[in-house]
Structure 1
Amino acid sequence: MQSNSPVPAWAGALVGLVSGAVALGVAQLVAGIVGPTTFPVVAVGDAAVDLTPLPVKDFAIRAFGSNDKAVLLGGVLVVLAALAALLGTLSRHRPAWGYAGFAVIGAIGVTAVLTRPDAAPLDVVPTLVGVAVGAWALRRLLHRGLATSATTTAPQAAEPPAAAPHADASQAAASGPRADASKDAVPAAGDVPLREAGVRDAAARVAPSDGSVASGQAVPGASAQGEAERPAVMRAGGGAPGFDRRRLLTGVAGGVVVAGVGVVLGRQLGGRQAVDAARVGVALPRPAVPAKAVPAGADLRIGGLSPFVTPNRDFYRVDTALVVPQVDPADWTLRIHGMVDRPVELTYADLLKLPLTEADVTLTCVSNEVGGPYVGNARWLGARMADVLRRAGLRADADMLLSTSADGFTCGTPVDVVMDGRDALFAVAMNGEALPVDHGFPVRQVVPGLYGYVSATKWVVDIKVTRFDRDEAYWTPRGWSAKGPIKTQSRIDVPKDGGSLKAGDTTIAGVAWAQHTGVDAVEVRVDGGQWRQARLAEVPGPDTWRQWAIDWAATPGRHTIEVRATDAAGRTQTDRRAAPAPDGATGWHSVTVSVA
C-alpha cells in the first residue's frame, strides 16, 4: 500500500478501534473458557495494582473509593483504545505497523498473565487468540475499504487504427472512427480514469486535477496496441479515489457485533450466573452457637446516622480483585498445611457440617481515613477458625497464618489472635444469607480486632501455618505493617461536614469502634470548648461499633465539631493526625457547619 493511502485518517482510526474491540471480545470469550482472570485486560490491571507505588494506591482509594477498580480497568481500556486508533491510522500506509503494534500489545498481555501468582501456560491462550484475531480484523477491514471499494467499467475494444504516421495520429482520430473512441473515453461526471501502467502518462493529460477532459480530446501518446483499448473507468463512491465508505462501515458494524457477542458470551462462560445460582441454592444450617440478641437500644434511629447493622448492599468493599473470583462451592476446598502435625483439607460440605457460630462483628479497612466510610457492621455465620486449626495440630513456634484467596491474594494473620477465644470465623453467611460473591462467597475470614488486610481474606482457599520471620503477605513488602490491630476511632455522621443548620436545638451523632476491646465513652466539643459526654447506644459485645449522640443548642455562625472515643481499656484516641499507612489512621474527626 502506498504512503498516499486513499483511506482517510478517521477511517483508519475507526478500523483500529474496531479491530482492538474484536481482539478484546474474542479474548474475553476464550477467557470465559480458560478462566476469567486470564483476560489480558484484567491481568494488566492486576500487574498495574502490584506495581503502583503506595501513595498512588492511597490516592486512588481516597479519590474513587470502592470504584477504584472500575476506574483502573477503564483507564487500561482507554489506553488500549488510543493505541488501537493510532495503529489503525498508521496501517493506512503500512499494514505491517499495525500488525507489529498488535504483537507488542500481545507481548505485554502475555507478560502480565504469566506474572500472576497462579499462572499456568494455558493462561496465555486468550491473549494470543485475541491478538491474532484483532490483527486479522485490521487486515480485513482495510481490505474492505480498498480492494473492492469502487465499481470498474470494463475496457471496450476500439477499431484498429488506420495506417498513418504516428505524427498524424491526432488528426486521424479527429475525423475517423477513433474520434468516437476518444469521445467514449471521456469519463462521465463522477468517474475517474484508472492509472494503468500502460497509459499512465496519457491518463495524466486526459484527467487533469479537476477531473475534466477537453471536449473531443483523444488519448494521445498511446501505442498501436494501447490504442486498441479504452482506459478502464472507476466510479468513486463519493469519497477519495479508492475509498468505499459503505463497504467499510458494514465491515465495522460486523466487527462491533463480533466484539459484543464475545464479551457477553465470555462473561456468561466465566461462571457468574452459575455461581450466583449455586449461592442462591445454599441451605444454611442453624448455628450451634447463636449470636446474642441485638439490644433494643443498639440503634438510636437518628436520620443520617449509620444503622447498627450495615445492609449487605451498602457494606464497603476494598480488595485487590479487579474481577471478582467466581468460586463454585462444589469445587471449593480449604487446605491447611505448613507447621502442623496433620494437614487438613475441607470441602464446602465439610465446613457446613461443623458446629457453626453466629457473631456480630464490625470490620474496618486499614485504608480508612479518619472519619472515612470503610467500616461496617454485620452478623456473620461460620466455623470457628480455632476449632478447624486445632484439627491440624499447630506447632508451638508457629505465629502466622498465611491465607491465600482464590485469585492469589495473600494475608498474614497472627496465630495468637485467632486462638485467644474471640469469634474468628471461616464465615459462610452475612446478615442471614450466604455470603455475597463480592464479599467472599463461598468462604471468607472474619477476625474481630484486626484490620482487614491482615485478617479478612475473601474467597479463602489455603492456609499455610508459618512464621512472620519466614513469610510475607501481599501488603507487607508494600510498606504496611505485618500486624494490624484496629485503633480506637470515632466518626461524626450528622451533621455532615459543610452542612447548614438552623439555630436552636439539634443532635450531633455518629459511631465509634474499638474491636475487640469495646467503646466505653465518647466525647464531643464545639469550637475547641469543653468536652461533653455523649450518650451511648447499647451493644451486644465488644466486637461491634457503637452509636452515640449528644444534644447541641446551635448558635448562628460557623462552628467546628470534634469527637473522640475512649475504649474499655481506658485508652483515649489521640489527636495526632496520621495517614493510614503503615498501620491505620489516627486523629480526631471533625466537621464544620454553618448555622443561620
Structure 2
Amino acid sequence: MRTELPRFHAAAIGVVAVGAAAAAGHLLSAFLGRNSSPVVAVGNTVAEFSPSWLTEFGKDTFYLYDKLALFVGMGVVMLVLAAVAGLVSRRSRTPGLVFIGVFGVLGVVAVLRRPDLGQLAIVAPLATLLVGCGMFSWLHGRAFQEESVEGGLSRRGFLIAGAGAGVAAVAGEVIGVSRDAEVSRAAIGGLVPARPAPPLPADADFSKLGTPTFLTPNADFYKIDTTLALPQVRAEDWRLRVHGLVERELTFSYADIRDRPLVERAVTLCCVSNEVGGELISTATFVGVDLRDLLAEAGVRPEAEQLFSTSADGWTCGTPISAVLDPGRGAMLALGMNGEPLPVKHGFPARLVVPGLYGYVSATKWVTELEVTTWSARRAYWLDRGWSREGPVKTQSRIDVPKPFAAQAAGKTIVAGIAWAQHTGVDRVEVRLDQGPWQPATLTAEVNADTWRMWWVQLDVPPGPHQVYCRAVDRSGYVQTGDVADTVPDGATGWHSISITAS
C-alpha cells in the first residue's frame, strides 16, 4: 500500500476529477438552461465584476474573441489549480476535496445569481460538486491501492474517467443545441409587415466597387453582447413587462406583439466600441412595432427620463425616454430581421432598435422588461464601466477599397467606402490624397437618414507611397472631426486613413 502518490498521478487525479465535475454540470445545463453550467455561470460573474480597465483590455486585445479568451483563460487557471489540488493531496485526499468543494460552492453562488434561471438550475452546480468529490475520492483511493508506481489499473481509471467526462461534455452541447430556441424560432413562420419599408433603390450601394451590400446578411451582421452563452428564450415562454413611472403596468406575450400591425424599417446599427475604420456597423430591415405605442398604452408619467430595459441574461440598458417617444425617431420593439424572425444571436424573440444611438444605450437583445424611470433611480450596465449616458452616434466614414498597404498601379484609382450619421443623414463625403485638397465623392441614393450611404471617388495617384483620408459631412453641416479620440466614453473620432503604394 502506498503512503504517498507520485506527482504525476496526484496532479492527474485533480485534473480528471475537476474535468468530470465540469462536464457533469455542462450535461445537466442542457436540460436546465445553458447558463446553469457552473463554468459558464462563473465566467459570466467574472465578466460582470471585472474592473473596467480589465474589460477594455480584453476588448482591445482580443476584439471579437474576448469571450473565447475568457473561457480559455478560465480553463487554464482551473486545470492548473486542479493539478495543484492533486499535488497537495499526495498523502491525504482532504486538500483536494476542499478545493473541489470551494469550486462547487462558487458554481452554486454564480448560478443562484443568474436572473434567467429557475430554482431547479441549482441542480447543475450541486451535481458538479458531488461528481467532483466522488471522482476525486475514487481515483485517489484506487491510486493508493496500487503497489507499483507504474501500476496499470489507475492509468485505466484515468482514461475511463477522462473519456467519460469528454462524452458528458459533448452530450451536453449536443442536447443543448437540440433544445434551444431555434426550434421555437423555426415555428414562427413569416412576419408580414402592414407597413413595409420602401423598396431599395437600384443604386443603394456600390458593392461592385468594393463597398458592403446595403443590407448586411444576418450571418454577417456584427454581434456584440456580454453573455458567455446565448439566452435560449422560446417565443411561447417570452413575456415583456412594462412598468415603473407609468399609469398602468402591462405585460405582453409574443402573440400579443405579433398580432399587431407590424412596421418594417431599414436601420443601420453601430457599436460604441467601433474604432475609426472599424467593422462593428451593419444595416438590416427590422420588423416590429413602435415602442412609443406600447408606452402610450402604459401611460408615461411626466417625470420619466429613461427607458431602462433588461435582457433575459440580466444585462441592462438605459435609453433616453425622449428618443423612444419621439414620433420621428422610429424606435422599435423588433421581432424580425431581413425578412425572417430574429436570429437567436441577434435577440430572438424580441429586441430593441432605436435609430441614431449606439447599441449600448438602445439595442437590448432578448429583452424581457421595460422600466420607465429616472436617470438617478437606475444605472445601466455600461454606465458603471466608464461609458457615457446617452450615446448618440457620431458622424463617421470608412474606406473599404483599396485595402490598407495595398500595392496599386499608378494612375487612376478607385477609392470607395461607407459613411453614416444616423438620424441626421449624410450630406457628402470628401476624400484627399496625402495633404492635397479634399475632393467630393459620389454618394449612393439615400434610403433614409437612419442608414449608411456608400461613396466612391477616382483619384489620380502618382508613383510612390501615399496616405488616403476620408471624412463625412452630415445634414446639420457638421464636418467629421480629424481629432483622434478613443472609443471610451462615447465613441471614437478621427479621419479614417489607409496607406497605399503605387508603382
TM-score, L = length of structure 1 = 0.81
Distance 1:556 1:45 in 2: 52
Tell me which residue corresponds to 1:204. none
Q: 1:432 aligns with which of 335, 339, 348?
A: 339
CA distance in 2, matches of 1:431, 1:110: 40
Cα deviation for residue 121 of structure 1 reads: 6.0
SS state of the match for residue 279, structure 1? helix
Residues 401, 417 of structure 2: 8 Å contact kept: yes
1:307 aligns to what SS in structure 2?
coil
Q: Give the direction of change, closer, same or farther, for the CA distance of 1:476–1:69 in structure 2 (3 Å limit).
A: same
TM-aligned CA deviation for residue 396 of structure 1: 1.8
> Aligned-pair distance for 1:122?
4.9
Cα distance in 1, alignment partners of residues 188 and 250 from structure 2: 23
Among 110, 113, 135, the alignment partner of 1:112 is: 110
Q: Give the superposition deviation at 1:544.
A: 0.5
Match of 2:123, SS? helix
Deviation per CA, 1:419-475: give whole Å up to 9, x if none.
Answer: 112221111111111111111011011110000000100000000111112211111
Name the structure 1 match of 2:228. 322
Q: Specify the code of the residue in structure 2 equivalent to 1:260.
A: G
Partner residue of 1:60 out of 48, 58, 61: 58
**Partners of 1:242 and 1:61 in 2: how far apart?**
47
2:242 alignment partner in structure 1: 336
Correspondence 1:307 to 2:213? yes
Are residues 554 and 243 of structure 1, via their aligned partners in 2, closer, same or farther at CA, if it must alter by over 3 Å? same
Corresponding letter in the other structure for 1:389: L
The correspondence for 2:199, drawn from 283, 293, 307, is: 293
Question: Does structure 1 residue 505 correspond to structure 2 residue 412?
Answer: yes
Q: 2:139 aligns with which of 115, 138, 141?
A: 141
Query: Which amino acid in structure 2 is aligned with residue 264 of structure 1?
Result: V
How far apart are residue 14 of structure 1 and its match? 2.2
Residue equivalent to 1:450: 357
- Of 545, 566, 572, the residue aligned with 2:452 is 545
CA distance in 2, matches of 1:325, 1:408: 10
Counterpart of 1:390 in structure 2 is 296
Given the alignment, which residue of 270, 276, 281 partners 1:375?
281
- Tell me which of 508, 514, 525 is aligned to 2:432: 525
Match of 1:275 in 2: 181
Q: CA separation in 1, counterparts of 2:7 and 2:182?
A: 45
CA contact (8 A) 2:115 2:312 kept: no
Q: 1:109 to 1:371 in 2, by over 3 A?
A: same
**Radius of gyration: which is bigger?**
1
Q: Name 2:397's counterpart in structure 1.
A: 490
Are the aligned partners of 1:66 and 1:316 in contact in 2 as well (CA < 8 Å)? Answer: no
Give the secondary structure class of the aligned counterpart of 1:342. Answer: coil
- Give, in whole Å, the separation in 1 of the partners of 2:352 and 2:190: 17
Root mean square deviation, CA, Å: 1.9
> Do the aligned residues in 2 keep the contact of 1:145 with 1:243 (CA within 8 Å)?
no
> Match of 2:372, as an amino acid?
V
Aligned residue-pair number: 502
Please state how far the C-alpha of 1:34 moved relative to its aligned partner: 3.1
Q: Which amino acid aligns with 1:364?
A: C
Question: Alpha-carbon deviations, 1:511-541, whole Å to 9, x = none?
Answer: 0100011100101111121111111011211
- Give matches, 1:45-444, under 5 Å: 45-117=43-115, 122-147=120-145, 149=146, 241-244=148-151, 246-268=152-174, 270=176, 273-421=179-327, 422-444=329-351
The reply on whether 1:467 has 2:374 as its aligned counterpart is yes
Deviates more, 1:369-378 or 1:50-59: 50-59
Q: Distance in 2 between matches of 1:552 and 1:17?
A: 61
Cα deviations by residue, 1:50-70 (Å, 9 ceiling, x for unpaired): 222223322322332322112
Amino acid aligned to 1:588 = W
Q: Deviations over 1:542-571 (max 9, x none)?
A: 011110111112222111111110111111
Farther-moved stretch of structure 1 (73-82 vs 321-330) = 73-82
> Which amino acid in 1 is paired with 2:263?
T
Question: Conserved in 2, the CA contact under 8 Å of 1:271 and 1:326?
Answer: no
Residues 33, 232 of structure 2: 8 Å contact kept: no
Percent identity (aligned): 44
Q: CA deviation at 1:48?
A: 1.7
Q: Which residue of 2 aligns with 1:33?
A: 31
Q: Distance in 2 between matches of 1:307 and 1:575?
A: 27
3-state SS, counterpart of residue 276 of structure 2: coil
CA distance in 2, matches of 1:434, 1:120: 26
Amino acid at match of 1:261: V
Task: Supply the distance in 1 between the matched residues of 2:431 and 2:51 (Cα, whole angstroms).
Answer: 37
Aligned equivalents of 2:9 and 2:208: distance in 1? 59
Structure 1 stretch displaced more, 294-303 or 507-516: 294-303
Higher alpha-carbon deviation: 314-323 or 56-65: 56-65
- What SS does the aligned partner of 2:376 have? coil
- Give the match's secondary structure for 2:256: helix
Could you tell me how far apart the structure 2 residues matched to 1:472 and 1:130 are?
A: 34
Deviation at 1:284, TM superposition (A): 2.4
Distance 2:65 2:179 in 1: 22
Q: Which amino acid aligns with 1:83?
A: L
User: In the TM superposition, what whole-angstrom CA distance separates every residue of 1:158-181 from its partner, at most 9, and x where no partner exists?
Assistant: xxxxxxxxxxxxxxxxxxxxxxxx
User: Are 1:511 and 1:545, in contact at CA under 8 Å, matched by a contact in 2?
Assistant: yes
Match of 1:184 in 2: none
- CA drift of 1:271 comes to 6.1
Give 1:120 deviation, angstroms.
Answer: 6.5
C-alpha separation between the residues in 1 aligned to 2:97 and 2:308?
44
Deviation at residue 504 of structure 1 after TM alignment: 2.2
Question: Does the 8 Å CA contact 2:429/2:441 hold for their aligned counterparts?
Answer: yes
In the alignment, is the contact (CA less than 8 A) between 2:204 and 2:214 conserved in 1?
A: yes
For the 8 Å contact 1:495–1:509, the answer to whether it is kept is yes
Q: Specify the alignment match of 2:495 in structure 1.
A: 588
SS of 2:234's equivalent? Answer: coil
**Is the CA contact 2:191–2:341 (under 8 Å) kept in the aligned structure 1?**
no
Secondary structure at the residue paired with 2:203? helix
